[in-house]
């Protein structure tokens, strides 16, 4: 079996890949990351043949991951995913292909190989990223917006009297400030997604992933699929599919 590691802006999660299937193991917040913590979490795992890593976090985080892997499993092969021009049936649409985040690239690969249709991919994480891929695997471009938490934090830091809270409230008209901020940011994200879908000249499957995907999906006026592990699925394809 192979160990897949997805190091995002907020948390690090890992899963096992066995004959193409993904089994999610666990996750840890970036604020809790350390050599000791990862050793404690991973030393009980079976010895992997390959460790594949997707990292959009700081280079120090990638170095930490590799150091822990080599400490626990010295002979294990470590593969770090990188954005390509063409890979696994997907053609990068960026003018500078290497500038497309590897997490977005892997999500495109997953959608191309699993769903095999034109799709709009929305990663609802720290940032909300939107990418469009056609039925032939051509990436048509993307958009980037603050995620729900970043929007709330921006209101708090950019104003004198608007507070910040991580609490989620019932979406809709609110009778207090915190609930109003929560609903406003949630509906802003929904508005972005619905606008993107409305502008498409051809049918697309809307696919959401990321930590806030389920919450945003509940409020959307358009149908969607929530796939929590797109990046890990794409990582598995990118590393283990013969090009």
CB atoms under 10 Å from CB of 26, counted, come to 11
Q: Is 12 annotated as a binding residue?
A: yes
Helix (H) or strand (E) holding 194: helix 177-199
Buried b (16+ CB within 10 A) or exposed e, 182-215: bbebbeebbebbbebbeeeeeebbbbbbbbbbeb
Q: Is 9 annotated as a binding residue?
A: yes
Helix (H) or strand (E) holding 7: strand 2-7
Q: Is 126 annotated as a binding residue?
A: yes
Q: Is 78 annotated as a binding residue?
A: no
Alpha-carbon distances of 203 from 36, 128, 238, rounded to whole Å:
48, 21, 26
φ and ψ at residue 2, rounded to 5 degrees: -120, 145
Q: Has 103 been annotated as catalytic?
A: yes
| Alpha-carbon span 102 to 180, nearest angstrom | 34
Q: Is 23 annotated as a binding residue?
A: no
- Point out which residues pair with 226 in neighbouring strands: 208
Contact 128, 122 (CB under 8 A): yes
Q: Is 177 annotated as a binding residue?
A: yes
Helices (H) and strands (E) in the chain, counts: 7, 12
- Out of 103, 131, 212, 227, the active site residue is 103
φ and ψ at residue 47, rounded to 5 degrees: -75, 120
Q: Is 104 annotated as a binding residue?
A: yes
Q: Is 182 annotated as a binding residue?
A: no
Q: Is 94 annotated as a binding residue?
A: yes
| Rounded to 5°, angle at Cα 220 from 217 and 221 | 145
Q: Is 147 annotated as a binding residue?
A: no
Q: Is 7 annotated as a binding residue?
A: yes
Q: Is 172 annotated as a binding residue?
A: no
Q: Is 56 annotated as a binding residue?
A: no
Residues with a known catalytic role: 103
Which residue ranges make up the annotated binding site for K(+)? 123
Which residue ranges make up the annotated binding site for ATP? 6-13, 126
Which residue ranges make up the annotated binding site? 6-13, 94, 101-104, 123, 126, 177
Which residue ranges make up the annotated binding site for substrate? 94, 101-104, 177
């Amino acid at each position: 079996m192979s160990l897949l590691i997805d190091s995002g802006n907020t948390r690090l999660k890992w899963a096992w890949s066995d004959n193409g299937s993904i089994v999610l193991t666990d996750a840890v917040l970036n604020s809790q990351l350390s050599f000791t913590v990862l050793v404690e979490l991973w030393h009980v795992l079976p010895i992997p043949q390959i460790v594949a890593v997707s990292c959009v976090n700081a280079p120090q985080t990638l170095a930490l991951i590799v150091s822990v892997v080599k400490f626990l499993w010295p002979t294990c092969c470590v593969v770090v995913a990188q954005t390509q021009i063409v890979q696994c049936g997907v053609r990068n649409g960026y003018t500078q292909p290497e500038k497309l985040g590897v997490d977005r690239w892997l999500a495109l690969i997953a959608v191309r190989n699993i769903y095999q249709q034109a799709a709009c991919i929305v990663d609802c994480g720290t940032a909300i990223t939107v990418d469009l891929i056609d039925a032939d695997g051509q990436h048509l471009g993307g958009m980037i917006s603050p995620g729900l938490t970043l929007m709330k934090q921006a209101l708090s830091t950019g104003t004198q009297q608007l507070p910040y809270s991580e609490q989620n409230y019932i979406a809709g008209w609110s009778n207090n400030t915190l609930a109003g901020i929560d609903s406003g940011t949630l509906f802003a994200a929904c508005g972005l997604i619905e606008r993107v879908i409305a502008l498409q000249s051809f049918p697309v499957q809307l696919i959401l992933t990321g930590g806030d995907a389920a919450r945003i999906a509940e409020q959307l006026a358009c149908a969607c699929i929530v796939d929590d592990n797109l990046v890990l699925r794409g990582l598995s394809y990118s590393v283990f599919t013969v090009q």
